[in-house]
Amino acid sequence: MSQMAPNLPSNVEAQQEKSSGPWKEAWRSFKKNKIALVGAIIVAFFIILALFGPLIAPQGINEQQLSERLKAPSTDHWFGTDDFGRDIFSRIVHGARLSLMVGFLSVIGSVVIGSALGIIAGYYGRFIDAIISRIFDILLAFPSILLAIAIVSVLGPSLTNALIAIAIINIPNFGRLIRSKVLSIKQEEYIIAAKAIGMSDFRLLFAHILPNSMTPVIVQGTLAIATAIIEAAALGFLGLGAQAPQPEWGKMLSDARVYLVNAPWTMIFPGLAIMLTVLGFNLMGDGLRDALDPKMKN
């Protein structure tokens, strides 16, 4: 007890210092989290690769040189060459753009549609809620990859369709998240007050309820990007995502599995690329959760 007492004033001070806004506060606590920072750095690294890929990569995506096929890593080809004699390093750098694009766009898609449905379900309740929630239940009843395969086989195999499929399978996750958040915010006094002064539903929803239910979505979104990248790679691996000669990592893995014994580098590097990006997003997502979730604070 006697030790606690002197600490008290400094704690209070610290809290006063921090009270300069919730986002800044979150950033501060995120910064303190070393592991999350590592995640953020990895993510930033791959974003740079994606943005400046063509400048970084020594070769294009499909510069075949059959005489140079399956060459081990060397100074000419840092990651070796694949079965068409293409530079694997270049293809991985170009592939970053595809993977991140699928990750971001699919999550944005599912966040937008999921939020819209979730808000409507949560705010209006009753039978609208029942219908939307049952649709979510149905979507969630399928193993996600199976649903994605089904969607892609209807739309036809391509990276864009894989992106759409991944967006669709993630809709219920975000929808449910927002719905539960809306259900609790709906009861808050400021919402009731706004309603009482006659604010329109539309404004209420998009100016007050939505912004206040966004934090869990950001956390969930970051983690979902990681899952989306894996799912895109899985679809690519199954031949249902990216098509030749697109340098999508999952597709590269699948093309390389024949050479697992003879030329392991054709598998190792795309595999590492997938693993690192996913790890990056997961670490960053965990850090964000710690930083943004008020319940996690001590």
Interacting residues toward other proteins by CB under 8 A: 62, 64, 66-67, 69, 83-84, 243-245, 257-258, 260-262
The C-alpha atoms of residue 203 and residue 208 are separated, in whole angstroms, by: 7
- Distance separating alpha carbons of residues 107 and 182, to the nearest angstrom: 20
Of 86 and 176, the one with the shorter C-beta distance to other proteins is 86
In the bound state with other proteins, the residue whose beta carbon lies nearer, of 36 and 240, is 240
Compute the 3-state secondary structure of the chain and give helix, strand, coil in percent, each to the nearest 5: 75, 0, 20
- Smallest separation (angstroms) from other proteins to the CB of 75: 24
Angle of helix 88-124 relative to helix 159-185, nearest 10 degrees?
A: 30
Q: Tokens at residue 246, please?
A: 């697109």
In the bound state with other proteins, the residue whose beta carbon lies nearer, of 64 and 212, is: 64
In the complex, the smallest distance separating the C-beta of residue 21 from other proteins, rounded to whole angstroms, is 51
CB of 69 to other proteins, least distance (A): 6
* Smallest distance from other proteins to CB 66, Å: 4
Q: How far is the CB of 136 from other proteins (least distance, A)?
A: 31
CB nearer to other proteins: pick between 181 and 251: 251
The owner of tokens 């912004």 is 211
CA pair distance 54, 223, nearest whole angstrom: 27
Identify which of residues 35 and 258 has a Cβ nearer to other proteins in the complex: 258
Look up residue 42 and give its two tokens.
């990895």
